[in-house]
Chains A and B, each alone.
Chain A
Amino acid sequence: MQNLLWTIPFLPLAGFLILSIGSKWLSPKASSTIGVSTVAISTLVSILVAIEFISGIGTSHIFKQELGTWIDVPGFSSNFGFYLDSLSMVFVFIVSFVGFLIHLYSAFFMKDDEGIVRYFAWMNLFMASMLILVMADNLLMLYLGWEGVGLCSYLLIGYWYKDPKNGYAGRKAFIVTRIGDTAMAIGLFFLFRSFGTLNINEILHYVSLEWISGSPDAKIAALLLLGGAVGKSAQLPLQTWLPDAMAGPSPVSALIHAATMVTAGVYLIARTNLIFSMAPNVMLLVAAFGAIILVLAGFSALVQSDIKRVLAYSTISQIGYMFLALGVGAWSAGIFHFFVHAFFKALLFLAAGVVIIRLKEEHDMFKMGGLRKKMPLVFYTFIAGAASLSALPLVTAGFFSKDKILMDAFLSPDSGIVLWIAGLVGAGLTALYTTRMIILTFFGDMKIEPEKISSKALNIPLVILAVLSIVAGYIEMAPLHLFSKFMAFSLPELNQPEGAALGFILPVISGLVVFTGIFLAWYFYQKRPEVTYNIKKSAIGSFLYNLWFNGWAFDEFYDKVFVQPYIFLARINKNDFIDLFYTEISNLMIRLNDWALLTQTGRLRWYLALITVGVIFGITIIIFL
């Protein structure tokens, strides 16, 4: 089965090639069939590989496949090779399985769109790139997948290209992530300079041998890799692109901007965990970034009116949790949260997508309402996802993953308490905005009558994801700890003091916080919405509202400090001031020419006079020199 590793990314890649080259001749039905089936077969293969992998986990916990040489010059060589351990296995499974469900959903969702061939081509390319990213055995190939997913993100955000706003959102995403990518590329150069190789295992091997904890080399490498991670994962300080990325179709948002691409940063940090472990300061930074953004994004999610933007900020916030986990060294906890998050976030986006199309493209929650009677399936699955997101105690998967993170944060030696409080506040906010979202969308008076659009292709993914959002957490429940045991084959364990007593108190506290959040949301949005309205109108309220609505003014800051000056500089220098130098030279020549022309008067006696003067001059020189 190891030898079939290559088919997992190459099937979608083949799909991309077929769909793009044959786009003129493929019918919409044919394109969606091709698009979905390549991913379906790829998922099947990955499940088979997973089964074989898990069953043989005791003996060999790594699958490998070498495909060939990419670049081979004296001094530098890089291959195409796959490396599958439990970490990549989790990612491969999630990417392909959730990806498959979303492709299935898209087959119906996009069926009337005229560019459907393009859509599936790029979605397939995305799947291929993401799978290459998580299975790559060296950093250059990882970078290949990294840029590939960035490209597809750009294309799919701007999918409806007629509206320039979509194109702008896509460009913003690409440029901001490119900034992170460049940092990562410099990190790659740095690692190569230190070790002469880009193979991940070799690098980690040398790191363990040569670098000591706290060495400046480790700090630099970790910081640069972190730069790449925050770009792709929409974390501080490069988080501004994600809310705008909601311009793309909902399945795109579900796949790329919730479940998979934005978690690439998490994968990167987890994969190179040894480098980060060698730089404790940077780890603290990771955790701090995670903690800060999860609170900030939570506040922003609270005031959004576009349902997809709420989910976008929510994604930023949840990835903040993953970063928080990674930062305190709770590697497998972070990955577990990724695992669960993929399910419920994709679910929420897909459900939101159904709501949107059934309400004739309405995104504003304040124009929705009372939908729970007319769309029961969507409503219940949405509740399942939302409950998991809010980490409703004991019954949802989200509870297990989020609480593990909170526990590990609390027990962490450097400022663990602060991190824990941040996580707690974030959890409360999450419950708050999630419940708000549900109330505004599904409760209250119905303002728009939803159309009758329903299909198995839409419903099956919703149901499957809803079920998973609930039960997926149980595999980690004590005393099973199946997930952590699985991850232990590739990630280091976190050494935590056993806080048995805390084992009950902390979840109880977070449960209370969750319920408080739900209650507050009910109070402010269902029971007494006018209070909310008054708060919003007040001076402080409107200030905070605007601040949070605009993502804490990061966008504005970047715009004023980077974007506008660059555009201004570009515009005033459009004709290149260096060119002026040369045009001035030619102008000078023209002027000299004009002066010289003055001697050509055409008057006979003038010429005679000049001749005389010249002759006298010449004779003088000859006589005296």
Chain B
Amino acid sequence: MILAWILGILMFSGLISWIVGRFNKEAPRWIALAALLANSVLLIVIWIKSMALADLNLNNQWFLEFDREWIPFFGIRFHLAMDGLSLLLLLLTNLLGILSVLISWKEIEHRTGFFHFNILFILAGISGVFLAEDLFLFYFFWEVMLIPMYFLIAIWGHENRVYASYKFFLFTQGGGLLMLLSILGLYFHNAGITGVYTFDIVELVKHSSTSSLAGLFMAGFLIAFGVKIPAIPLHSWLPDAHTEAPTAGSIILAGLLLKTGIYGLIRIVIPLFPDLSLSIAPFAMAIGVAGVLYGAKLAFAQTDLKRLVAYTSISHMGFIIIGIYAFNSIAFRGAVMQIIAHALSTGALFVIAGIVQDRLHTRELKNIGGLWDDMPGLGGFSFVFVMASLGLPSLANFVAEFMILLGTFLSNPLWAILASLGLIVSVIYSLRIMQKVFFGPKLSSYKTHDINLREVVILSALLIPVVYFGIFPRPVFRTLATPVNSGIFLENDRVNSDNSSQNKSYIMKSVNEPLPSLKTKVELNVLPTIGKEDKNEQN
């Protein structure tokens, strides 16, 4: 029931904001803030409870579930479920939601009711995506994310907003339609075999790989998620959308929307098509590496501050793709950490870009410079986030990137080495940000004042986790592993009992085991274990 509340609070407050917005301009902000805070309280309570559950060692995959009939004629159920990964992502959603409401406090002046309606519905859509266990429901929330975002960019964006919002909409919708085709394909295929019409993921997993069209189905999903992640070459929409969106929109886009693509990969594509996923892994890693390097190169070339930060998103997400398709538990954990670290640090960079734009009325780097004089506080914060962007140890991004590269190296040294080049190119663009914005001579004629309390609070709320998880990443990893959640990949006891388990043995039963397939598919000297005794066992 709580899960439904989480979504319900967001949607309901969205509607209220819109209505109230007609009478009072400031009220929607408070309503939105209140709703998000209420949600956060709920989630924190769940989090604390889940930590306790972790010690009980239950054998459930989900620790919260909500399952109701919705449209029985088509076999659609309103099935929400939460495990460690969803919990982490929902916490992130709420945090970034609160921060985006706070950052728009002064930035958005007209039609605030509708603005907050859009924000809350986007967040509701995202939360729904992270919770949905029924493919139709998943698709429903996928579309719910899309339309309000379009409005957000089109109405409150910057100069080129119409172009950017159209582009964003067409790309995402195009991908989404292909995904719909795949979903329907799976639906009918499953019905053909079992005679039951259902959209439930758990059910579909049983027969998903047996279809002759499985490759096409997976392609549909991959394109939809690939657009979102974004994976080269489907990334074109991102720079425009991120640049032209208002700051709150950019934070939500970079911090959350991109992650829904990754989540889709983890939750849907890999469990539904394990064999195929394994076989395309090298190709996927190549795309990831291309994203890392190409994104970095493009970031370096930009003269618009926000566009630069937008391209860095492509670069960081490339790491996540690599981390997931390495099929290695260390890399996977690194990928999840990168999700969080990237959301926080890139979100912060967008906040900073927004602050700069707000003060200097420009995003062009050639008109900005020497801001450290007037804004040392902002400089200090930016410095930390820029360092996070380039992967400085003691910050969360380093833990993430290191683990991804380490894990990938264990199974695919070549790709890991290529991806490590990303460490070098990330320095080039990150330092460009610092140099052009804060150092050097002052190029703008505007007099600015340093950041005020509200901005300090926002930036600190982002800085503290980045630094904290850099030194103590344990909370993240511990949440991920609750409750013994056989976790990220669907563990399907039912699957194992139906089909011969050797076919499904490469589905990771739990994040705690390295992928057994590594033994056979990839020649390794040593598996990632500690100590010599283990090595003897496996050899």
Contacts and interface: CB of A to CB of B under 8 A. Distances in A.
- Direct touching of A and B (C-beta under 8 Å): yes
Interface string B291-303: 0000001101111
Contacts of A186: 409, 416-417, 420
A151 B377 CA distance: 19
Nearest to A192: B406
Contact of A164 (B417, B424, B441, B528): B441
Contacts of A570: 297-298, 300-301
B233 to A, nearest CB: 5
Nearest to A114: B373
A177 B136 CA distance: 51
Contacts of A193: 409-410, 413, 524-526, 528
A497 to B, nearest CB: 38
Given A178-B424, A574-B301, A74 B511 contact: yes
Interface stretch (B102-110, B262-270, B471-479): B471-479
A69 B236 contact: no
Contacts of A171: 431, 435
A71 B473 contact: yes
Contacts of A163: 440
Interface string B156-178: 00000000000100010000000
- By size class, the interface of chain B is 35 or more
Nearest to B422: A182
A143 B394 CA distance: 10
A73 interface: yes
B399 A71 contact: yes
A158 B439 CA distance: 9
Given A182-B423, A582-B236, A196 B297 contact: no
A75 interface: yes
Interface in B434-451: 435, 438-441
A74 B420 contact: no
Nearest to B314: A576
B505 interface: no
Interface string A536-579: 00000000000000000000000000000010011101101011
- By size class, the interface of chain A is 35 or more
B34 interface: no
Contacts of B167: 582
Given A171-B435, A573-B301, A576-B239, A161 B372 contact: yes
B370 interface: yes
Contacts of A147: 392-393, 398
A443 interface: no
A566 B300 CA distance: 10
Interface stretch (B37-45, B121-129, B529-537): B529-537
A76 interface: yes
Nearest to B301: A570
A465 B472 CA distance: 41
B112 interface: no
Nearest to B530: A196
Nearest to B393: A144
Contacts of A194: 525-526
Contact of B236 (A168, A195, A566, A579): A579
A321 interface: no
Interface string B394-407: 10001100110111
Contacts of A162: 370, 439-441
B525 A182 contact: no
Interface string B225-246: 0000000110110010000000
A209 to B, nearest CB: 9
From A158, A163, A186, residue with most partner B Cβ within 10 Å: A186
A517 interface: no
A258 B97 CA distance: 49
Contact of B405 (A164, A167, A168, A189): A189
B537 to A, nearest CB: 13
B516 interface: no
Chain B contact residues: helix, strand, loop or mixed: helix
Contact of A76 (B298, B440, B474, B528): B528
A23 interface: yes
B333 interface: yes
Contacts of A206: 532
A258 to B, nearest CB: 24
A70 B471 contact: yes
Interface in A146-169: 147-148, 151, 154, 158, 161-164, 167-168
B330 interface: yes
Nearest to B328: A75
Interface string B502-525: 000000000111100000000011
B330 to A, nearest CB: 5
A581 interface: yes
B402 A77 contact: no
A403 interface: no
B324 interface: no
A75 B416 contact: no
A578 B236 contact: yes
A140 interface: yes
A63 interface: no
Contacts of B439: 158, 161-162, 164, 167
A143 B409 contact: no
Nearest to B511: A74
B394 A182 contact: no
Contact of A196 (B393, B421, B441, B528): B528
B392 A76 contact: no
Contact of B297 (A73, A179, A569): A569
A75 B514 CA distance: 8
Interface of A: 20, 23-24, 69-77, 140, 143-144, 147-148, 151, 154, 158, 161-164, 167-168, 170-171, 174-175, 178-179, 181-182, 185-186, 188-190, 192-197, 206, 566, 569-571, 573-574, 576, 578-579, 581-582
Leading 7 A-B pairs by shortest Cβ distance: A570-B301, A161-B439, A189-B409, A144-B393, A75-B528, A574-B301, A579-B236
18 contacts: A70-B473, A71-B477, A73-B333, A73-B403, A74-B329, A75-B514, A75-B530, A76-B403, A148-B392, A151-B392, A162-B439, A167-B439, A185-B420, A189-B416, A196-B530, A196-B531, A570-B301, A573-B301
